[in-house]
Chain A
Amino acid sequence: MKLDVNALGTFYRMAREGAGLAAGRLTHMTGVETQVGVTKLNFMRGREIQRDFEDSTEKVGVRVKLTGAIEGYSMIVFERENAFRIVETLLAESDEAEIDVDGEFDEMTRSAATEVGHIMNSGFIDGWADVLETVIDVSTPEFVQGATAEPFFGDVSEAPDDDDLALLFQSRIETVGTEVGFSHYLFPKRESMSALLDRLRTSGGIEYDKLDGFDRMAERGAEEVAKTATTLTGIDTSVEIRRLNFVSLEAIPEQVADQKLVGVAFEFDGMPSGYLLFLFDEESAHEIVDAMVPMEVDEDGFGEMGTSAIKELGNIMASGFLDGWANVLDTTIDHSTPEFIHDMGAAAVDPVIIQLGENQEFAFVFDTVVVADGREFDCEVYAIPDEADLERALNNLDVDRIEETPTTAEFQEVNNS
């Protein structure tokens, strides 16, 4: 099984189109304004998907089995509370009894939730069928609920095992003005996916197994960032989220928090080349400055001392991150001197996507979030490599040696020239 950017691009369009149809139908059904939030293709291991589910919130899912051009399972998942809220809107017009949002699903609310989920699933699936110009058949919907991954896909053989890397479609649909969102998952059968990829591919492509290399890169990079951050600030940090997304370039700034952020940006050069950004919210940035600069710093801004402390931290984290990659890929990657930014988050990201946008429409984004226990230290890391370079780097990768590669990146003095 091989994939290339053209095939992934088609998948991305499928996801967008499907999300649009699903949102439109939800609006039609409930009269509630909806909008399509971030759409992503994620490469995730089975255990990460499970971890995603196990955030101790009760969830409700509506699952259908697909046959035809895509075989596998499609599932709409909402938080239990949100499911109730939508059901409430739906049943508001009939004079039915009050709905107890903390209660259990009864026959009526269960069937209403199933209907909503099914109509949305069908929206997605019709969207894919449109893009692929083909037919996909859908089974009757199945209602599932629980707080762990088990009831949702424990019995789905298509769902990836702990170590299997799965291509996951994730879309958010939000109701305007309220916080009701949904996630959508597609677990395709491997053979069905393979056949689709063969049809959609326009270049030689990357062997699917080499995507393991992606995951290793993401893992090593993230570990190095957390390690260097802890060493330098004395704040105990850990990697909270680490995933590889395939998104359209435009979607990247939209994902960044809509607030003033502090960041450090780099360009890197090698195989691959690209851009690397570390973004902190203001509180975290102040905390870092306090931890790194012994004397009192001006409260409002970051001043010369604060700026240089954050740049230094960024610089060392960048070295660690890229050394992590270079180790996996058995190459060297150099990076520029740090550029400090204290501005709207999206404004920090758009120059990068503009530059890459000259030659590519989509990007693989290595998303990482590093956090600290009990203290403010939220750092989002965006690593966006040049697509052609990345494809080449992965193709050169010898998958067998990944497992053996030790992380040799050491904490080192920065060359701040």
Chain B
Amino acid sequence: MKTYGTEPGAPTPVQVGISELVVSDGDDTLKSYGLGSCLAIALYDPDSDIGGLAHVMLPDGDTADNSDRKPGKYADTAIRALLRRMVEQGASYTTVKAKIAGGSDMFEFESFGDGVGQRNIAAAKEELEKLGVPLIAEDVGGEYGRTVEFTPGTGTLLVKTADESAENGRVEL
């Protein structure tokens, strides 16, 4: 969701809606609510404290018509767009690291095939590998929803489930 007139450094977390990506730095918190089979991709450069979060919906943007308009919608184009914007803001490509969360398979519907969540995870991993960005942490799969909060400055990706008191209710990546 786009916010107009946000002061830089404001304490409220910046919402990253489905198909959106946001690049920021320092102590800003980027937040995506209620990921089911969607995937949160967080990239950051620990040297410059610049990082970004994408809330992707589908695996493959290279074959889609609208990926120019909505790079954040697809795992592959979102990763490239995040990297490009981070580098534009001063991040160094070679030190960028990645963390991912989400990609659950909430339902076992016949039409879902191998699982819509799994396809997103595989696509993100493949693109990161291709670009040589190390994936250093992940909390993916399962059959439950997640809310994530990412702080570019520390590289911390906080993953919460609906039942925070459960064993995996609150994970810090």
Q: Kindly provide the distance from the CB of B110 to the nearest chain A CB, expressed in whole angstroms.
A: 7
Contact with A along B49-89 (1 / 0, CB 8 A): 00000000110000000100000010000000000000000
Selected contact of B57 from candidates A177, A342, A348, A350, CB within 8 Å: A350
Q: Which residues of A contact B91 (CB under 8 A)?
A: none
The answer to whether B58 and A33 have CB atoms under 8 Å apart is no
Give chain B's interface residue range (CB within 8 Å of chain A).
Answer: 35 or more
A253 to B33, CA, bound (A): 10
Q: Which residues of A contact B19 (CB under 8 A)?
A: 250
Which of B3, B110, B120, B161 has most chain A Cβ within 10 Å?
Answer: B3
The answer to whether A254 and B18 have CB atoms under 8 Å apart is yes
The answer to whether A35 and B1 have CB atoms under 8 Å apart is yes
A113-130 residues at the B interface, CB under 8 angstroms: none
Is B106 among interface residues, defined by CB-CB distance under 8 A? yes
Q: Which residues of A contact B144 (CB under 8 A)?
A: 343, 347
Contact (A346, B12) CB under 8 Å given A253-B34, A351-B37, A358-B58: no
Q: Kindly provide the distance from the CB of B9 to the nearest chain A CB, expressed in whole angstroms.
A: 14
The answer to whether B145 and A347 have CB atoms under 8 Å apart is yes
Selected contact of A345 from candidates B4, B34, B73, CB within 8 Å: B34
The answer to whether B12 and A24 have CB atoms under 8 Å apart is no
Q: Which residues of A contact B2 (CB under 8 A)?
A: 20, 23, 35-36
Contact with B along A9-40 (1 / 0, CB 8 A): 00000000000100110111001111111000
Contact (A350, B5) CB under 8 Å given A339-B108, A344-B162, A355-B116: no
The answer to whether A33 and B107 have CB atoms under 8 Å apart is no
A122-144 residues at the B interface, CB under 8 angstroms: none
Q: Which residues of B contact A33 (CB under 8 A)?
A: 3-7
A39 to B35, CA, bound (A): 21
Q: Kindly provide the distance from the CB of B150 to the nearest chain A CB, expressed in whole angstroms.
A: 17
The answer to whether B3 and A347 have CB atoms under 8 Å apart is no
Q: Which residues of A contact B1 (CB under 8 A)?
A: 35-37, 254
Mostly, the B contact residues are loop
Among residues of A, the one whose C-beta sits closest to the C-beta of B60 is: A358
The answer to whether B117 and A346 have CB atoms under 8 Å apart is no
Q: Which residues of B contact A258 (CB under 8 A)?
A: 33-34
Selected contact of B36 from candidates A32, A249, A351, CB within 8 Å: A351
Q: Which residues of A contact B37 (CB under 8 A)?
A: 350-351, 354
The answer to whether A355 and B111 have CB atoms under 8 Å apart is yes
The answer to whether B162 and A260 have CB atoms under 8 Å apart is yes
Selected contact of A347 from candidates B112, B120, B146, CB within 8 Å: B146
The answer to whether A27 and B57 have CB atoms under 8 Å apart is no
The answer to whether B4 and A349 have CB atoms under 8 Å apart is no
Is B156 among interface residues, defined by CB-CB distance under 8 A? no
B1-60 residues at the A interface, CB under 8 angstroms: 1-7, 12, 17-19, 33-38, 57-58
Selected contact of B107 from candidates A28, A31, A351, CB within 8 Å: A351
Q: Kindly provide the distance from the CB of A46 to the nearest chain B CB, expressed in whole angstroms.
A: 32
Q: Which residues of B contact A349 (CB under 8 A)?
A: 36
The answer to whether A354 and B107 have CB atoms under 8 Å apart is no
Q: Which residues of B contact A260 (CB under 8 A)?
A: 162-163
Q: Which residues of B contact A265 (CB under 8 A)?
A: 106-107, 109
14 pairs of residues in contact across A and B, judged by CB atoms under 8 Å = A250-B18, A256-B34, A267-B110, A343-B106, A346-B34, A347-B34, A347-B144, A350-B35, A350-B37, A353-B18, A354-B37, A354-B116, A355-B116, A358-B58
Besides A343-B36, A343-B162, A350-B37, 17 other A-B contacts (C-beta < 8 A): A24-B5, A32-B5, A35-B1, A176-B12, A250-B18, A253-B34, A253-B36, A339-B109, A343-B144, A344-B33, A344-B36, A346-B145, A347-B106, A351-B36, A351-B107, A355-B112, A361-B66
Question: Which chain A residues have a beta carbon within 8 Å of chain B's beta carbons?
Answer: 20, 23-24, 26-28, 31-37, 176-177, 249-250, 253-254, 256, 258, 260, 265, 267, 273, 275, 336, 339, 341-351, 353-355, 357-358, 361
